[in-house]
Structure 1
Amino acid sequence: MQLDDETIDFMADEAPPAEPRDHGDMWKLLVVDDDEEVHEATRFALQGIFLCGRRLQLIPAHSAVEAAAIMERDAEIAVLLLDVVMESPDAGLRLVKHIRQDLQRTEVRIVLRTGQPGQAPELEVIRDYDINDYKTKAELTHTRLITTLIAAIRSYEQLQALNDNQRGLEMVVSGAAELMQAGSLAAFAKQALAQVCALLRLPCDGLLCAEKGAQLAAATSEDVYIVAATGNLAGYSGQRLDHLGDPDVAAAIKDCINRRRHSFGQRHVALYLRERNQEAVLFVRSNKALTTVERQLAEVFAANIATCFGNVRLVERLNYIAYHDPLTGLANRTRFLADLAKAGVLAKPGQVVCLLDVIRFTDINNSLGQEVGDRLLVAIARRLSYACRDCRVAHIGADRFGLLGDAAQLAPERMLDLVADPFAAGEHQLQVGVNLGYCRISGREAGDTLFKHADLALGQARLSPNLRHIDFTPDMEARTHWRLDVIRQLRHDFQAGRLEVWFQPQVSLTDGHLVGLEALARWPGNGGFVHPPEVFIKLAEDAGLIGELGAWVLERSCATYRSLRDTGRALHHIAVNVSMPQFRQPDFPERVMDILAAHDMPATALELEITESLLLDEPAVVLRNLETLRQAGVLISIDDFGTGYSSLSYLRQLPVDCLKIDRSFVLEIDRGKGDLFAQTIVELAHKLGIDTVAEGVETQAQVERLRELGCDTVQGFLYAHPMPASELAQWCDGRGAGGRMVS
């Protein structure tokens, strides 16, 4: 049949076989021609046709202007069948230029159709305008039209795949860099979910990230927790997967974990992430089946972010360790100070800082073992956390806890009641006491200032025998400044050699002879003032000087003994007080023996005085060092016996030579309070076969009663005040022959 040039013959060839039908997306074909008959013929020819697995959707346009508008609003046009001559001779070519240059649509395939062979564009035009094919309308038989469209669609599909791959890889690379900056697992999960949705062009609805094992728990945990969720699942963030209201989602995630493989379903995408011992799943609801390219991109994305997941998990773990106490799981000192800084800025009404320490925790640790001590701390932490759940609770030191919260919840009476019941620590039920220091948050104070103020109050509570809790007051800071100034001066004077050792005589009640001296450290001040030892000895302990000071007193005492002996004034012994820091030195016995040897002094002439509290601090260390010294011949006495908390069982174990009766018990003898305590101590000493020394004797009546009780030795103002070594010889000479008191 003869056709004119404007007629498209779709009857000449046999149609190609139909392709398998797919009810998915359609290929969009934009037909641009100013002839309505051409549109009708094209629709007739392509009716019901499936190409490359999809149906064709024909979109008509009757001018280049109309086609340009369609291209601007529809990004899914795959192929253009474009007439060259429409509203102008070059309308089609100008449309091509607009599509390629202005709209930057490089992947869409453009097939030019023209009715006149003489209107065919030159090769340069096809090249310059990026035209993919050119046909006259007479050439486009049915078969040729379809084969032309198949070639165009395949080319479009390949270009689209390349573009998608490039876009996807760029997103994967940039997304991985962004995810590396995530500071927490929750932030990582939210960003990862947003990125996978953008990568796969899926709606951001109903997303979650599930991690195997609770947050910061052991990797062996089989529980699965939802770390982050969006859309209608957002309310499940932080919960166990078992609590999820959608069983299909939970089943898909568990299946993904069990098989350790990605899962691509008709309605979901589940990406399996694993790095070292950590596992997680990114689950995304899907409204389409993924293409091969999309699946590949999803797998590359998962492989990249798995490393990010492991790194973020590690960073989160390190952050947890940095701000939490490993024993109790509470916030540590660093985190507590940060919380105080925030609280100081906010300055909410009624907020207080409370510092708590456990009284005599060291005794429990030493006597029952560190494991029991650790269990006690854990038990205290749990009770505080449960009872003060609206407060920040932190473990800020060995036996110290910090609390920040409402004043009513942290009231002293409530806190003391809270610790009144015993704590279970392994097999032990331990009753403990606590000291409390408080600071109210009143203004915009710095966090370290709030902590310092509460710490000052706690220090006052620890030093106060009758108070268990104290609130900070401004004068505490002034007293602290004074104390620091005194400590600084003490250190300076000690290093400058301005401290002295004075001696107080000890007299036998049997014959009145001088039997010994007690060495006493003295700190002379300006204008003849002498600092009381009960003040500066405690300051020396706080300044860390007590060890050096004790060693110096011991050396000066031995030198004085040697000097008196060399001038014919022999003593039975010289008594020197020993502190706990000295006893903590593992070579303390050797140091003592070296000083004795340096002054050619027999060990039996040295008496070391220890306090009852020292016996309880570290009994194993005390016993070991005392046994070593006692075997060498050094005498041991217990100072101020009866005023501390010593146990008779300890007393029976100790190699003790003497008990010293405290001055307070001696004063009771002639103050109408009787001599019960003095008598008890003397009788106990007699039964143990050891001597007694009474301190603070000031009256003859005290002497007579102590002699009646059987006390061996006395010292006090009745005989002599403590004196410098330079005055000792004169005092001894004034006592008459044999060093016996003249009375």
Structure 2
Amino acid sequence: MSDELIVFAEEPQRQASSEAKGSLRPWKVLVVDDDRDVHEATKFGLKGLVFMNQPLQLLHAYSADEARALLTQHEDVAVVLLDVVMETETAGLDLVRVIRHDLQMTNCRIILRTGQPGYAPEIEVILKYDINDYKNKADLTRTRLYTSVTAALRSYSEMVTIDTSRRGLEQIVRASSELMSRHGINDLANGIITQLSALLGVPEEGIICCRSKITEQDEHQFIIVAASGKQAIKAQNARPLEDPDIKQMLQRAISEQRSIDDEHACVLYFPSEMRDDILLYLDIQRPLEETEHQILEVFCSNISVCLDNATILDRLHNHAYFDSLLDIPNRISFANHIDKMLLGQSHNLMLSLIDIDHFSGINDTLGAQSGDELLRLVAQRLTEMLPAEVFVSRVSGDTFGLLGPRSLLEPARIKAGFFDPFSLFGDELVISVTQGYYQLNDSNLRGNDAIKRANIALKRAKTIVRGEAIEYTQEIERETHQRMLLLQGLRRAYNDNELFLAYQPQIDLRTGQVTGFEALMRWRTKNGTMIGPQEFIPVAESSGMIIPLGKWVMDTAMADLVRLEQQFGLKLQMGINISSLQFRHPNFLHTIRSRLDRLEVSASQIEFEVTESVAMMDTENVREILATIHEYGAQVAIDDFGTGFSCLSYLETLNFDRLKIDKSFVDKMLDEHTSTHIPEMIISLGKDLNMQVIAEGVETLEQMEHLRQLDCDQAQGFYFARPMEFSQLQKWLQLHLAGD
């Protein structure tokens, strides 16, 4: 809102001396925001502002409660710069109610500010509680902040003046209240003419016109919005203004960017950055008095609030219910539409969420601009390929929501819609989508709950069948809920030290001596229940918690290895499992380097075990990481060898130190219906590549003897020892050495 809403004469420019400034009562502006940076930015933006020769005094509150206390102490606060969302989503709006109702501060001007446009105030709040302005924080440059506060101070100043000395205040308030309740620009415009005529005591002879800024070069293009009295006979709404005398006055107001008057008429000028300029011509047949100038300033401030509120409400509606990038309904609108449809027949409706596969990779590779363009193209294709009865929305990121008859949203049909490539800035790009869908069969369900169910199915599909579709079932939700509870329990177990390491010895098959151990993570709850790693490790990996857990495993295993060497004087090896998520983490090398650097034994005694899936990642990147690990002095083994990819070429290009034969091959090794070919081939392969070979899961003497005959280097398994806690391992190792 412009500061100069209405100025009938140039104001003299007076500079107050520093002595005078110190004696003047300052304008009190209360800044309410939970972000300290916003307070500092506001201080900078309003620094040095002097209005009507009075300086500003900024008061600061960081919560609604602090603001209420300050407002109780300072009843003369002129302007409140209020954050919409603070300690709660409604804290700002609740404070508005306190200001207007509890504290009865009707003159104080309120400017709402928000950094989250989605949390828009309700329409009733803006209309009912006399909110002066509503701005996005990102849009508040210093100039706009300066302008908004100055306009608010002018409004406050005039309201206070009229509240104490002008007889027309009650009529202004009644008129403003009447205008606030009107809806639609025509109804509002007619109400303005009526109220202004009553305020000045003149007949309703007026015209309201708008002049769009895009037609600024055409000096005579004014479109009639409303007209009354004799003027209504001459003019028709939505038609260009023809009267040359009125056009001349309107053009003068536009040129001078202010309201003007003469002996027979006045033109009120309402500029705005949010809408077209509005001008009101009133045929008063007499000059305005000075007191009427002042009254009109206040009245015009309120009219500007009404006019800007109409624009604000439109924009708030778009921010709240439409996606700003794609100009299609957003998640809130989607949920509301589901609620509406559930009130009718829902047995044949299906809700589908579709997610663009590998969108983040496209975004990273081609850039954010290409990513945004792809999203627009996908929204366009969905809208064009689906009938009008299908509701299309953007739920989040690269996920779109569809609602319509099941026959129109069959997964195969949606999938086929993406077979054709997209033309992305001249290049053709083929994508696939993953779908999660839910058949709406519960009329008591809310829209957000239905979206949640479809999202559960979508997450399951993204985990196990990328590019396909999965339908929501209660079993999937139960499993999801159990995984969530397991994750919560795992976080609690990590913080409460319920996790521990068990160590399984590794034996040299030629000498029978202990060569090292494998560190295995275990979880024992406080009530003594053991939760198997096959249950919690996948949850840790999918949630990303494997990263801190992996660091803890390294620290604990390396510390225990040092203690064993100090106690027994043996140079033993410690195997530490590394997940693919850890291996891909950008800080992985730094993590192991920092620990190896402070290790009190040789780094060669540490062996990091990775799976074949890690080896089959970006070969060049894996080669560089393995080379760096070897530079640090540590060893690397391939765990569960033979159970993953069949391509073995990576063994020739990547520098591994040891192969581990998976237990499944050892179990079948002596079966009369199978053969020893796989273990024998792995052992032979290891020898050819100058790699050590160790067999896992050895449980019988026969298995051990057979592996020794095949010239396998080492083995581990229940035949030798079960995984043990550290104290048990110490005792076992002592007995084992005594037996030797």
Interval of TM-score (by shorter of Structure 1 and Structure 2): 0.5 to 0.7
Among 312, 316, 322, the alignment partner of 2:314 is: 316
Gaps of 5+ in 1: 1-167, 231-245, 263-269
Is the CA contact 2:352–2:435 (under 8 Å) kept in the aligned structure 1?
no
- Structure 1 CA distance, aligned partners of 2:729 and 2:204? 99
Instruction: Give the % identical residues.
Output: 31
Q: Which residue pairs with 1:418 in the alignment?
A: 417
Is the CA contact 1:682–1:692 (under 8 Å) kept in the aligned structure 2?
no
Among 269, 272, 277, the alignment partner of 1:275 is: 272
TM-score, normalization by structure 2? 0.55
Is the CA contact 2:434–2:466 (under 8 Å) kept in the aligned structure 1?
no
- Structure 2 CA distance, aligned partners of 1:412 and 1:659? 43
Is the CA contact 1:275–1:309 (under 8 Å) kept in the aligned structure 2?
no
- Structure 2 CA distance, aligned partners of 1:385 and 1:412? 16
- Structure 2 CA distance, aligned partners of 1:249 and 1:540? 71
Amino acid at match of 1:397: S
Question: SS of 2:460's equivalent?
Answer: helix
Question: SS of 2:438's equivalent?
Answer: strand
Distance 1:459 1:277, change over 3 A: closer
- Structure 2 CA distance, aligned partners of 1:379 and 1:682? 54
Q: State the Cα RMSD in Å.
A: 6.1
Distance 1:395 1:575, change over 3 A: farther
Distance 1:467 1:313, change over 3 A: closer
Q: Which residue pairs with 1:191 in the alignment?
A: 187
Distance 1:619 1:203, change over 3 A: farther
1:355 aligns with 2:353: yes
Distance 1:483 1:600, change over 3 A: same
Q: Which residue pairs with 2:536 in the alignment?
A: 536
Question: SS of 1:419's equivalent?
Answer: coil
Q: Which residue pairs with 1:96 in the alignment?
A: none
1:390 aligns with 2:384: no
Question: SS of 1:353's equivalent?
Answer: strand
- Structure 1 CA distance, aligned partners of 2:535 and 2:541? 10
Q: Which residue pairs with 2:139 in the alignment?
A: none
- Structure 1 CA distance, aligned partners of 2:359 and 2:499? 35
Q: Which residue pairs with 1:496 in the alignment?
A: 496
Deviation digits for residues 28-50 of structure 1 (CA, Å, limit 9, x no counterpart): xxxxxxxxxxxxxxxxxxxxxxx
- Range 441-450 or range 631-640, more displaced: 631-640
Q: Which has the higher contact order (CA 8 A, sep 6+)?
A: 2
Distance 1:686 1:448, change over 3 A: farther
Aligned pairs for 1:612-623 (under 5 A) are none
- How many angstroms does 1:535 deviate by? 0.8
- Structure 2 CA distance, aligned partners of 1:291 and 1:554? 87
- Structure 2 CA distance, aligned partners of 1:647 and 1:373? 34
Amino acid at match of 1:332: N
Distance 1:483 1:530, change over 3 A: same
Aligned pairs for 1:545-564 (under 5 A) are 545-564=545-564
- Structure 1 CA distance, aligned partners of 2:241 and 2:320? 36
Distance 1:701 1:434, change over 3 A: farther
Distance 1:655 1:280, change over 3 A: farther
Question: SS of 2:393's equivalent?
Answer: strand
Deviation digits for residues 52-103 of structure 1 (CA, Å, limit 9, x no counterpart): xxxxxxxxxxxxxxxxxxxxxxxxxxxxxxxxxxxxxxxxxxxxxxxxxxxx
Is the CA contact 1:345–1:445 (under 8 Å) kept in the aligned structure 2?
no
Q: Which residue pairs with 1:448 in the alignment?
A: 448
TM-score, normalization by structure 1? 0.55
Gaps of 5+ in 2: 1-167, 198-202, 228-237, 260-266
- Structure 1 CA distance, aligned partners of 2:519 and 2:716? 12
- Structure 2 CA distance, aligned partners of 1:367 and 1:506? 45
Q: Which residue pairs with 1:461 in the alignment?
A: 461
Deviation digits for residues 411-451 of structure 1 (CA, Å, limit 9, x no counterpart): 22222223344445554624334141424242122233223
- Structure 2 CA distance, aligned partners of 1:623 and 1:192? 72
Distance 1:465 1:666, change over 3 A: farther
Amino acid at match of 2:315: R
Is the CA contact 2:501–2:557 (under 8 Å) kept in the aligned structure 1?
yes
Distance 1:337 1:530, change over 3 A: same
- Structure 2 CA distance, aligned partners of 1:181 and 1:485? 51
Question: SS of 2:442's equivalent?
Answer: coil
Deviation digits for residues 150-180 of structure 1 (CA, Å, limit 9, x no counterpart): xxxxxxxxxxxxxxxxxx9999986766666
Q: Which residue pairs with 1:635 in the alignment?
A: 635
Is the CA contact 1:507–1:516 (under 8 Å) kept in the aligned structure 2?
yes
Amino acid at match of 1:723: M
- Structure 2 CA distance, aligned partners of 1:686 and 1:330? 62
Is the CA contact 1:272–1:279 (under 8 Å) kept in the aligned structure 2?
no
- Range 352-361 or range 606-615, more displaced: 606-615
Amino acid at match of 2:394: H
Question: SS of 1:390's equivalent?
Answer: coil
- How many angstroms does 1:275 deviate by? 1.9
Distance 1:194 1:716, change over 3 A: farther
Question: SS of 1:381's equivalent?
Answer: helix
Is the CA contact 2:636–2:656 (under 8 Å) kept in the aligned structure 1?
yes
Q: Which residue pairs with 1:336 in the alignment?
A: 334
Amino acid at match of 1:418: G
Question: SS of 1:539's equivalent?
Answer: helix
Amino acid at match of 2:272: E
Is the CA contact 1:355–1:437 (under 8 Å) kept in the aligned structure 2?
yes
Deviation digits for residues 466-506 of structure 1 (CA, Å, limit 9, x no counterpart): 99433333344444444444444444444333332122344
Aligned pairs for 1:195-344 (under 5 A) are 195=191, 274-276=271-273, 278-279=275-276, 308-344=306-342
Question: SS of 1:431's equivalent?
Answer: coil
Deviation digits for residues 107-163 of structure 1 (CA, Å, limit 9, x no counterpart): xxxxxxxxxxxxxxxxxxxxxxxxxxxxxxxxxxxxxxxxxxxxxxxxxxxxxxxxx
- Structure 1 CA distance, aligned partners of 2:687 and 2:326? 47
Amino acid at match of 2:725: P
Aligned pairs for 1:447-526 (under 5 A) are 447-465=447-465, 468-507=468-507, 514-524=514-524
Q: Which residue pairs with 1:575 in the alignment?
A: 575
Distance 1:609 1:384, change over 3 A: farther
- How many angstroms does 1:527 deviate by? 9.3
- Structure 1 CA distance, aligned partners of 2:364 and 2:210? 48
- How many angstroms does 1:521 deviate by? 0.8
- How many angstroms does 1:557 deviate by? 1.1
Distance 1:348 1:668, change over 3 A: same
Distance 1:476 1:566, change over 3 A: same
Larger Rg: 1
- How many angstroms does 1:554 deviate by? 1.7
Distance 1:633 1:408, change over 3 A: same
Question: SS of 2:455's equivalent?
Answer: helix
- How many angstroms does 1:455 deviate by? 2.7
Question: SS of 1:396's equivalent?
Answer: strand
Distance 1:438 1:272, change over 3 A: farther
- Structure 1 CA distance, aligned partners of 2:634 and 2:453? 46
Question: SS of 1:722's equivalent?
Answer: coil
Distance 1:317 1:710, change over 3 A: farther
- How many angstroms does 1:565 deviate by? 1.9
- Structure 1 CA distance, aligned partners of 2:187 and 2:622? 61
- How many angstroms does 1:561 deviate by? 1.5
